[in-house]
């Protein structure tokens, strides 16, 4: 019976499905196992956030597939997987709507001072300081999208439903699609200068790391909101905190961080400034794609990739294709 390792929590129905005809080890929960103890027995890995580097791959002689629960592969050593003839697959689209909706959860929380208002109400304050909680409406504001893939397009549609103007920066974007939405394809400088809400939708690569840095933040409109539900490294967090401290930036909503392994009670501690210092900073623990519907869809898509690879077939959405399969 093939052995599968599931790194992080997935939908219960996915675990039940795979347990029916596989030996399944979990990297979480009460029955957690250390991959180092079972790596030599593992045929497939269903991977979420755990780093899966060369050392783990080299210690897994039976491993045939690493099926990512999501679209990013920055936590997988793709070169090592290629050298060892291991499939690496992703599950694009399954959580796109969940992430797109989370963009507006963060944007609205900042635009309407939701977290501050909630905290004050819990503290027993109702009228005191109420004037300081005056927010802004999204209607009529400019929504800027840096990246126009599956999630970006959904965010665009939702933004238009709010009555927002649309600006897009993406060299691969179809200009006609943007035009149909009433939007405009612009260069990065125009995007950051013209957006009231700037939402990031790019993969993290050497070219995109810190694509939003001090220079871009300085060009943003006073009071603008930055939302990042994509990858933490897209934003220079030290520069972001300076922009928040100065009061020029209206707020930032982050679902991803450069260093997500730090103490989550103080998630930006590596920049020596606690997040509690800012009322206009909302941080969530990488939960943009974590809805009941998305977890079910993405988990079962990853499980299907595993089943096909172990049966000798070709799984969908392969990022790394073993040489034997490419012949």
Nearest CA-CA partner of 5 in 52, 70, 54: 52
Residue with tokens 């260093």: 259
CA gap 184, 179 in Å, rounded: 6
CA gap 104, 107 in Å, rounded: 5
Residues 251-276, mean pLDDT to the nearest whole number? 76
**The two domains 3-94+292-326 and 96-283 share their CATH topology (first three levels equal):** yes
Q: Is the pLDDT of residue 191 over 50?
A: yes
184 annotated active-site: no
DSSP string over 249-291: S-EEEES--S-TTS-TTSTTGGGT--GGG-TTEEE--S-TT-S
pLDDT value for 26 = 98
Q: Is the pLDDT of residue 46 over 70?
A: yes
Q: In sequence order, which ranges of the chain are alpha helices (DSSP H)?
A: 12-19, 35-38, 54-58, 78-83, 96-111, 114-122, 150-161, 175-180, 188-194, 214-219, 237-246, 292-310, 323-326
Q: Is the pLDDT of residue 271 over 70?
A: no
CA gap 102, 138 in Å, rounded: 15
Q: Is the pLDDT of residue 177 over 90?
A: no
Q: What's the order of all strands across the beta sheet hosting 281-283?
A: 184-185, 165-169, 142-146, 197-200, 225-228, 251-254, 281-283
Catalytic pick among 54, 137, 245, 260? 260
Nearest CA-CA partner of 8 in 65, 52, 48: 48
Question: At the fourth CATH level, which superfamily is domain 96-283?
Answer: NAD(P)-binding Rossmann-like Domain (3.40.50.720)
123 annotated active-site: no
How many angstroms from the chain centroid is the CA of residue 125? 35
Q: Which of 8-22, 58-72, 250-264, 308-322 has the lowest mean pLDDT?
A: 250-264
Catalytic pick among 112, 184, 286, 296? 286
CATH fold for the domain made of 3-94+292-326 = Rossmann fold (3.40.50)
Q: Is the pLDDT of residue 164 over 80?
A: yes
CA gap 102, 98 in Å, rounded: 6
48 annotated active-site: no
Domain ranges across the chain: 3-94+292-326, 96-283
Residues 217-234, mean pLDDT to the nearest whole number? 96
Q: How many CB atoms lie within 10 A of CB 252?
A: 25
CA gap 38, 162 in Å, rounded: 50
CA gap 34, 28 in Å, rounded: 9
Q: Sorting pLDDT into bands at 50, 70 and 90, what band is 269?
A: low
Helix axes 96-111, 150-161, angle to 10 degrees: 50
Q: How many CB atoms lie within 10 A of CB 17?
A: 17
∠16-289-238 over CA atoms, to 5°? 135
CA gap 116, 138 in Å, rounded: 19
pLDDT value for 265 = 66
Catalytic pick among 11, 22, 68, 231? 231
Residue 217 φ/ψ, nearest 5 degrees: -65, -35
CA gap 259, 178 in Å, rounded: 34
Q: Is the pLDDT of residue 327 over 60?
A: no
CB 226 within 8 A of CB 198: yes
């Amino acid at each position: 019976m093939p052995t599968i390792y599931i790194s992080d929590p997935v939908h219960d129905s996915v675990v039940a499905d795979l347990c029916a005809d596989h030996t399944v080890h979990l990297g979480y929960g009460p029955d957690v196992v250390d991959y180092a103890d079972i790596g030599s027995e593992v045929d497939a890995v269903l991977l979420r956030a755990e780093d899966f580097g060369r050392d783990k791959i080299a210690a897994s002689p039976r491993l045939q597939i690493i099926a990512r629960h999501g679209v990013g592969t920055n936590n997988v050593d793709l070169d090592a997987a290629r050298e060892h003839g291991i499939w690496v697959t992703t599950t694009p689209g399954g959580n796109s709507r969940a992430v797109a909706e989370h963009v507006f959860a963060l944007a609205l929380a900042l635009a309407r001072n939701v977290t501050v208002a909630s905290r004050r109400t819990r503290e027993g304050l109702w009228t005191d300081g109420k004037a300081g909680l005056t927010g802004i409406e999204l209607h009529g504001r400019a929504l800027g999208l840096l990246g126009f893939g599956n999630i970006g397009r959904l965010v665009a549609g939702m933004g238009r439903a709010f009555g927002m103007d649309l600006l897009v920066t993406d060299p691969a974007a179809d200009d006609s699609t943007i035009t149909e939405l009433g939007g405009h394809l612009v260069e990065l400088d125009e995007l950051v200068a013209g957006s009231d809400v700037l939402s990031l939708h790019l993969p993290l690569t050497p070219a995109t790391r810190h694509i939003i840095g001090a220079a871009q933040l300085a060009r943003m409109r006073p009071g603008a909101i930055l939302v990042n539900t994509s990858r933490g490294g897209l934003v220079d967090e030290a520069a972001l905190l300076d922009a928040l401290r100065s009061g020029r930036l209206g707020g930032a909503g982050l679902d991803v961080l450069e260093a997500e392994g730090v103490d989550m009670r103080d998630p930006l501690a590596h920049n020596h400034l606690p997040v509690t210092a800012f009322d206009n900073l909302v941080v969530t623990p990488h939960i943009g794609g974590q809805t009941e519907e998305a977890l079910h869809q993405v988990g079962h898509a990853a499980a299907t990739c595993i089943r096909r690879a172990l049966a000798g077939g070709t799984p969908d959405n392969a990022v790394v294709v073993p040489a034997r399969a490419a012949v």
